Amino acid sequence: MIKAQGYAAQNAQSGLAPFTFDRRDPRDHDVVIQILYSGICHSDIHQVRNEWGNSIFPMVPGHEIVGRVTGKGKGVTKFREGDLVGVGCFVDSCRECGSCKEGVEQFCAAGMNVTYNGFERDGKTPTFGGYSDVIVTDENYVLRVPEGIDPAAAAPLLCAGITTYSPLRHWKVSPGQRVGVVGLGGLGHMGVKFAASFGAEVTVISTSARKEADARRLGANQFLVSTDPSAMAKAMGSFDFILDTVSATHDVNALLGLLRRDGTIVLVGAPEKPLPIAAFGLVMGRKTLAGSLIGGIAETQEMLDYCGEKGIASDVEVIPMQQVNEAYDRTVKGDVRYRFVIDMKSLSV
Ligand code: NAP
Ligand code: ZN
Ligand code: ZN
């Protein structure tokens, strides 16, 4: 066993505190990764606070992991010691079902094995995530991180990056299309960068005017305040595609009104409570309401390579582990520009 140090939540009210646990010795196809940085995704907060009602404690969160390979099993062919690598939201899947064979392992019929708050394939060994100094992962679920990207700014690509890249690609967002990105947080700011880099005309749709200058700097052409009724009325019927990254209950019907005929809105945000939808908002104008979940291993690698080529990474605030609980509160308040990333060196201070 490999001794690991990290931070864990003991229950939905405890917040995160130091925690020591074991990682398995590498099997034939495992790589041992010394974790350098781990991003704080709003999904970590939902799960640590049991907002989705499926939490398993103790929980070591973290699925935006970047680190270096420090060891490997004898069957590993894809990585060498010293390689800069990443681990995202899942660490295994059945490898046999249609979804796994098609490279969309996040939709594995047997259920993907999530990086934390889940179990390994044996169905009983708990998985622990990236708020820790070391992780042992099968090479087929490890990503190569381009060396040109700052590793701290690369970490959020493993979830916020792929979660926004995948639907923009799947729905073929292309030059000249009018794209709205709702919520300028961790996911939203990556959505803006990707949609702009795919040539779309991007509007950030935000609850207040305070992020407008940032939105434009990130690549948005326009900024729409969703709490301003006259601005919303003027924008009715004008978007081809909307990516909704909002983490809390909000008015999807108002967003449907922003779509043109045959437009599509894709939910990637995962609020705790169901969102009411009025049928008329969809049937009038033949609109599509869809959802999307992270991305498969092949597409995650494609996204990372694309980021390496185009110089795209996340805008991050790097923090020591000791500030993680405060960072959660700030994220919930929308007070982060635009992703907190934990520097794992702080664990040994
Ligand atoms: P985040 O950094 O906290 O950003 C969420 C943004 O939503 C905020 O910055 C804010 O933007 C907006 N917002 C928050 N409360 C709102 C409200 N009451 N009404 C309207 N807008 C509000 O969170 P994140 O890490 O980007 O994650 C966003 C959501 O996606 C979470 O629910 C997370 O669990 C989910 N998620 C889903 C997937 C997937 O695969 N589908 C993957 C990762 C995360 P403004 O300040 O601009 O209004
Ligand atoms: Zn995430
Ligand atoms: Zn499968």
In this predicted model, what pLDDT tens digit does every residue of 215-257 receive, in sequence order?
999 999 999 999 999 999 999 999 999 999 999 999 999 999 9
Question: What percent of the chain is modeled with pLDDT above 90?
Answer: 99
- Residue with the smallest CA separation from ligand 1 atom 23 is 42
- Residue with the smallest CA separation from ligand 1 atom 39 is 293
Give the separation between CA 349 and CA 343, rounded to whole angstroms: 11
Residue 168 binned pLDDT confidence (cut-offs 50, 70, 90): very high
Q: How far is the CA of 116 from the centre of ligand 3 (A)?
A: 18
- pLDDT at residue number 349: 81
Give the separation between CA 261 and CA 241, rounded to whole angstroms: 11
Give the separation between CA 145 and CA 151, rounded to whole angstroms: 8
Ligand 1 pocket, 159 CB below 6 A? yes
Tell me the average pLDDT of the chain.
Answer: 97
| Tokens 């008015």, residue located | 251
* Region 44-71 average pLDDT: 98
- pLDDT at residue number 111: 98
Tell me if 269 sits within 8 A of 183, measured CB to CB. Answer: yes
Ligand 1 pocket, 303 CB below 6 A? no
Residue 78 binned pLDDT confidence (cut-offs 50, 70, 90): very high
Ligand 1 pocket, 185 CB below 6 A? yes
- CA 124 centroid distance within chain: 25
Ligand 1 pocket, 48 CB below 6 A? no
> Which of 245, 252, 293 should be mutated for ligand 1, with most atoms under 8 A from CB?
245
Nearest to 39 by CA among 196, 171, 203, 150: 150
Residue 203 binned pLDDT confidence (cut-offs 50, 70, 90): very high
Closest ligand 1 atom to Cα of 339? 2
In this predicted model, what pLDDT tens digit does every residue of 288-333 receive, in sequence order?
999 999 999 999 999 999 999 999 999 999 999 999 999 999 999 9
Coil/strand/helix, residue 310: helix
Prediction pTM value: 0.98
In this predicted model, what pLDDT tens digit does every residue of 22-46 receive, in sequence order?
999 999 999 999 999 999 999 999 9
Give the separation between CA 19 and CA 311, rounded to whole angstroms: 36
End-to-end CA distance of the chain: 23
* Region 1-15 average pLDDT: 98
Tell whether the torsion through CA atoms of 116, 317, 152 and 297 is positive or negative: positive
Two tokens at 177?
A: 């299309």
Q: How far is the CA of 163 from the centre of ligand 2 (A)?
A: 8
Q: How far is the CA of 88 from the centre of ligand 2 (A)?
A: 8
DSSP labels, 126-185: BP--SSBSEEEEEGGG-EEPPTTS-HHHHGGGGTHHHHHHHHHHHTT--TT-EEEEE--S
Residue 167 binned pLDDT confidence (cut-offs 50, 70, 90): very high
Q: How far is the CA of 332 from the centre of ligand 1 (A)?
A: 9
